[in-house]
Structure 1
Amino acid sequence: MLRRHLLLTLGGVLALSGAGLAQDAPPQPDIFLFAYDADNDSDVLSDGRNVTDQPRYDNQPFFTKDSATFLYVRDDGEQIDIYEYDIAAGTHTRITQTPENEYSPTPSPDNRTISMVFERNGSVWEIERSAPDAPRWVFEAPGVVEPVGYFARNFATGEALYWSRFGFNVAYRDADGGNHFVSGHAVPSTPHLIPGANEFSFVHRQTNEQVWIKAFDPETKAVRPLAPIVGTNANYTWAPDGSILQIEDNKLHRWREGGDGWEEISDLDAHGIEGGYRIAVSPDGERIAIVGMVAAAN
């Protein structure tokens, strides 16, 4: 069910209904890698290539701290495991090969461990790179009762923010392992640690039906609004310069604090992608990974 949920995003870009797609054959996303020039006035993306060109599901890229590789999840025909793509070498390395599925691979800053949502019990686990077949709980005691859909960790402080798959809420896990409710009506979307801060961000559907990206401060427990999402796709990411990037209607948009709202900075149609919906930016700010489908030939 989690895999199906990941494919059917809020943006509807992979929705089966009304898209003329067979019910048993949803489109399988790939990951496209681009050079990113934040100062380009016409198109911030260049030198794009499909780096996971295979017939099955590839998703959830997350760059390592040195920006040399990114982790992602791949369907190998039996289950979904974690892989790593080396940008310079152009090679793929399988990291996990467990009987269960893994999602949301998140490398630690020192790159020694990888955190993930493990289908074994729907909680957050981690592995040592040196021992990928020996996963251990991160959210163990006192345990997280509701299955985790998405999460973000602050490795420096030991804190985390996670989205509950059943409760549709976000909760904060403090450095001592205590769990604290933050907000209900949270939209299925990966929380993020905001660059240069100890705050987390998440997506919240307000009572007036507006959907906003909001910040949570673990120290004060305050929640403050940052920006409304563009359209309906709740997948977004932070760039290291503090801007937020989001894809809507197959166009890449950017929000900057103090700016004039969202601006369109690239049209993915021009880069041979359709149904783009998930995005990751490298820590050095020089590359972007975009999840979408290869555009159909005219």
Structure 2
Amino acid sequence: MQKRRLILTLCGAAALANTALAQDADEAPPPAFPETEIFLFDYDAEAESNALSNGRNVTQRAGYDNQPYFTKDSASFLYSRDDRTQTDIWEYDIASGTHTRITKTPESEFSPTPSPDNRTISFVFERNNSIWQLDRARPDAPTWALEAAGVTEPVGYFARNYATGDILYWSRYGFNIALTSAERPAYHFISGHAVPATPHVIPGTDQISFVHRQTNEQVWIKAFDPATKAIRPLTSLVGTNANYTWTPDGAILQIEGGKVYRWKEGGEGWEVIADLADHGVASANRIAVSPDGKRIAVVGLPGA
């Protein structure tokens, strides 16, 4: 009898524990996204200092607003925005100052990348941790962009050349860079020891840049040519922030220590062109340039 009572007691305790676990799961806090804002500036490509002006916080809300990417006409930018449970793709129209929600899925979308004609958007989708795409006319019906390539490796960041179909991506767990295609079966391993950072199609070329940690521990931005499979070192990073972007005239911009640096091939190395503290921006780490070269979006926080 005592043994039976002990068994019943243990079963009851287990049931209570399971109930408590279920309640804890139901009451679990939503995913924690970092607090970030997007600031928009006018950019003077000819200025050697104080190259930014007319800065304003264009998101200005509590939550995660990040990964801006300008449309080809430079009239708007896409970005990833959270609703406290997951992220969706939103669009900010510069002229009207309005924000429009593009996706509304149960999963999160990151790194929204518009096609040159602005009809298609590619993004990293948590549905299978890969690159997906959607037609703006049917935002509720995204399709897997790497299905033809047959690549199932989880993707963290990517760059897509819509003209050639080439996609260069950073492996989410492998920390390597590889080349694939949105149009055909394709896979080419480029390099290991790649730093988690968004690759970029280099303006005016079909080459794609990425960030690589060398065996001597130096971290470099390098260019990869899909046609020849050649890798060319460009420049080492200023500091530790691996986020950077290209301007239409072929310069690289990077934020480090609250300052915006610019590098031009054949120039004298990295030069400071703006101090974000002068514009009331702190903790900035991501930057994007409009295709017309007239505006810059910076991800950071309002300064004290």
Contact 1:27 1:293 in 2 (8 A): no
Tell me, what secondary structure is at the counterpart of 1:270?
Answer: helix
For the 8 Å contact 1:116–1:124, the answer to whether it is kept is: yes
Match of 1:47 in 2: 54
1:106 and 2:113 correspond:
yes
The residue that corresponds to 2:166 in the other structure is 159
Matched, 1:34 2:61: no
Q: CA deviation at 1:25?
A: 7.5
Equivalent position of 2:4 in the other structure: none
> Deviation of residue 190 (structure 1)?
0.3
Establish whether residue 130 from structure 1 lines up as the match of residue 161 from structure 2. no
For 1:68, the equivalent position in structure 2 comes to 75
Aligned to 2:188: 180
CA distance in 2, matches of 1:88, 1:213: 34
Decide which of 273, 289, 299 is 1:265's aligned counterpart.
Answer: 273
Amino acid at match of 2:256: E
Partner in structure 1 of residue 242 of structure 2: 234
Aligned to 1:134, what secondary structure does the other structure show?
A: strand
Task: Point out the structure with max Rg over C-alpha.
Answer: 2
CA distance in 2 between counterparts of 1:261 and 1:83 reads: 36
Given candidates 200, 203, 220, the residue that maps to 2:211 is 203
**SS of the counterpart of 1:40?**
coil
Equivalent residue, structure 1, for 2:16: none
Q: Work out whether residues 131 and 146 of structure 2, in 8 Å CA contact, stay in contact via their aligned partners in 1.
A: yes
Residue 285 of structure 1 is matched in structure 2 by 293
- Deviation for aligned residue 1:283: 0.2
TM-score (norm 1): 0.90
Aligned residue in 2 for 1:9? none
SS of match in other structure, 1:62: strand
Q: Distance in 2 between matches of 1:291 and 1:63?
A: 13
Deviation of the 1:27 alpha carbon: 5.2
**How far apart are the structure 1 equivalents of 2:82 and 2:275?**
28
1:193-225 C-alpha deviation (Å, 9 max, x unpaired): 000001000000000000000000001101010
State the alpha-carbon separation in 1 of the partners of residues 101 and 32 from structure 2: 25
- 8 Å CA contact retained: 2:33, 2:63: no
Distance 2:33 2:157 in 1: 22
- 2:149–2:184 Cα contact (<8 Å) kept: no
* Code of the aligned partner of 2:73: D
Gaps of 5+ in 2: 1-30
The count of aligned residue pairs is 273
- Say if 1:61 and 1:280, in contact at 8 Å, map to a contact too: yes
Q: Structure 1 counterpart of 2:219, which letter?
A: V
Q: Tell me if the contact between 1:239 and 1:245 (Cα under 8 Å) persists in the aligned partners.
A: yes
* Post-superposition offset of 1:40: 1.8
* Unaligned residue ranges in structure 1 (runs of 5+): 1-23
Q: Is the Cα contact below 8 Å between 2:135 and 2:142 reproduced in 1?
A: yes
CA distance in 1, matches of 2:124, 2:301: 24
Pick which of 52-61 and 72-81 moved more: 72-81
Pick the structure with more helix per residue: 2
Query: How many Å apart are 1:42 and its aligned residue?
Result: 2.9
SS of 1:74 mapped into structure 2: strand
2:95 to 88, 91, 97: 88
Describe the superposition over 1:60-114 as per-residue Cα deviations: whole angstroms up to 9, x where unpaired.
Answer: 0000000000000101123100000000000000000000000000000000010
In structure 2, the residue matched to 1:218 is 226
Superposed CA RMSD in Å reads: 1.2
Q: Distance in 2 between matches of 1:112 and 1:157?
A: 17
TM-score (norm 2): 0.88
Does structure 1 conserve the Cα–Cα contact (< 8 Å) formed by 2:209 and 2:221? yes
Aligned-pair identity in percent equals 68
Tell me how far 1:141 sits from its aligned partner. 3.4
Tell me the residue number matched to 1:249.
257
Report Cα offsets for 1:137-170 as digits up to 9, x if no partner. 1011342232000000110011110000100000
More moved, 38-47 vs 151-160: 38-47
Q: Is the 8 A contact 2:49 2:272 kept in 1?
A: no
- In structure 2, give the amino acid aligned to 1:209: E
